[in-house]
Structure 1
Amino acid sequence: MSEGSGRVEILRRSIEAQAAPPQWVFVVAAVLAAVTVLSDRLWPVARHVITIAHEGGHALAAVASGRRLAGVRLHSDTSGVTVSSGRPTGPGVIATVAAGYPTPSLIGLGAAALLATGRTSLVLQLCVAMLLAMLVVIRNGFGVMSLVVSTAAILAVSWFAPPTARAGFAAYVACFLLLGGLRPVVEVQRQRRRRRGRDSDPDQLARLTGLPPGFWVGLFGLTGLACLAGGGGLLFG
Structure 2
Amino acid sequence: MDSTTATDLWDRLAGSQSGPSVWTVVGTGLVALAMILPPRVWRVTRNAITIAHEGGHGLVALLSGRTLDGIRLHSDTSGLTVSRGRPTGFGMVLTAAAGYPAPSLLGLAGAWALSTGHVTALLWVAAALLAAMLVMIRNAYGALTVVLTGAAFVLVSWLAGPEVRAAFAYGVVWFLLLGGVRPSFELQRKRRFGAAADSDADQLGRLTGVTPVLWLLFFHVVALAALLAGGNLLLRG
- Mean Cα displacement is larger for which, 63-72 or 150-159? 150-159
What is the Cα deviation at residue 17 of structure 1?
4.6
Matching residue of 1:4 = none
What is the alpha-carbon distance in structure 2 between the residues aligned to residue 29 and residue 60 of structure 1? Answer: 28
- 1:157 corresponds in structure 2 to 156
State whether residues 66 and 91 of structure 2, in contact with CA within 8 Å, keep that contact through their aligned partners in structure 1.
yes
8 Å CA contact retained: 2:16, 2:119: no
Letter paired with 1:108 = G
Unaligned runs of 5+ in 2: 1-14
Deviations 1:19-43 (A, max 9, x none): 2222221111100011111011211
Q: Does the 8 Å contact 2:16/2:116 carry over to 1?
A: no
**1:38 is paired with a residue of what secondary structure?**
coil
TM-score (norm 1): 0.91
* 2:218 paired with 1:234: no
Which amino acid in the other structure matches residue 112 of structure 1? A
1:85 is matched with which residue? 84
Query: How far apart, CA to CA, are the structure 1 residues paired with 2:130 and 2:42?
Result: 20
Instruction: State which drifts further: 52-61 or 35-44.
Output: 35-44
Give ranges in structure 1 of 5+ residues lacking alignment: 1-15
Larger radius of gyration: 1
* Aligned-pair CA distance for 1:18: 2.8
Find the counterpart in structure 2 of residue 62 from structure 1. 61
Aligned-partner Cα distance in 2 for 1:225–1:115: 19
What secondary structure sits across from 1:53 in the alignment? helix
One-letter identity of the residue aligned with 2:74: H
Q: Shift in Å at residue 160 of structure 1?
A: 2.2
- Say whether residues 1:200 and 2:199 are aligned partners: yes
Alpha-carbon displacement from aligned partner over 1:18-73 (angstroms, at most 9, x marks no partner): 32222221111100011111011211111010000000000011101111111101
Please give the residue correspondences for 1:8-27 in structure 2 after superposition, counting only pairs within 5 Å: 17-27=16-26
Cα displacement string for residues 102-124 of structure 1 (whole angstroms, at most 9, x for unaligned residues): 00000000111111111110110
Give the aligned residue type for 1:141. Answer: A
1:151-197 deviation digits (Å, cap 9, x = unpaired): 11112212222211110000000000000011100100000001111
Report the equivalent of 1:10.
none
Q: Does the 8 A contact of 1:57 with 1:100 survive in 2?
A: yes
Structure 1 stretches of 4+ moved >6 Å: none
Q: Is the 8 A contact 1:20 1:119 kept in 2?
A: no
Which residues in structure 2 correspond to 1:1-237 (within 5 Å)? 17-237=16-236
Q: Which letter does structure 1 place at the counterpart of 2:143?
A: V
**Percent identical residues:** 52
Which secondary structure does the structure 2 equivalent of 1:18 belong to? coil
Q: CA deviation at 1:142?
A: 0.7
Equivalent pair of 1:109/1:178 in contact (CA under 8 Å): yes
Query: Quick one: distance in 2 between partners of 1:40 and 1:105?
Result: 20
How many residues end up aligned between the 2 structures?
222
TM-score normalised per structure 2: 0.91
